[in-house]
Amino acid sequence: MSNILHSQDRADVLAHVSGNLRRLRLASGLSQTALADASGISRRMIAAVESGDANISLSSLDKLATAMGVDFVELVRDPSRETRAEINEVTWRGSQPASAAMLLCSAPASRETQMWLWTLGPGDSYVAEPDPEGWHEMLFVVEGALRLIQSGEAQDYATGEFVTYSTAQHYSYCNVGKKIVRFVRNVVS
């Protein structure tokens, strides 16, 4: 879980993250300083996210959620929705207008399972930070050709192809073609 959530598009996930973070932090009985100590994320960043004035990585949001004893989905979903069966929240935008990641839903696993719908415009990419041991992804290419780079090794996947791998390594998704790439991403822990 990496890359940056950009606050300039408030209709996207940051519209929920700021309120969810504050609500969940207070429900956990944590001050901003205590949450900073528990998560390794600076108090200044926490204050900026709560006020909606910050860009934050997906992995940093995951660290905040873990420190509060909740999961990533609780931070990003619309709090008015009662179920995780339909989240439908954009959580990442790339440099190309067609590039986006939408968290579709979440289901329980040993810890958590998430389903995402990703779109990458031509020339765009997503560079991830390694996750802790035990996290995996399953990708299914719906349209176009996706290049997956794992620990420096590139592999291309065409429409209809899929791959499963551990995310406890450096990895990235790339669209090196001239057409949009769409793929389903399942995250499992």
Question: Residue 141 forms beta bridges with which residues?
Answer: 183
The 3-state DSSP class for residue 180 equals coil
The dihedral sign for the CA sequence 41, 44, 48, 50? positive
Model pTM score: 0.65
Inter-residue contact 67 to 46 (CB < 8 Å): no
DSSP label at residue 45: H
Question: How far apart, in Å, do the first and last CA atoms of the chain sit?
Answer: 12
Q: What is the chain's pLDDT, residue by residue, as a tens digit (189 residues)?
A: 444 444 444 445 567 899 999 999 999 999 999 999 999 999 999 999 998 887 788 888 889 999 999 988 899 888 888 777 778 888 878 888 888 888 887 777 787 889 999 999 999 999 998 988 888 999 999 999 999 999 999 999 999 999 989 999 999 999 999 999 999 999 988
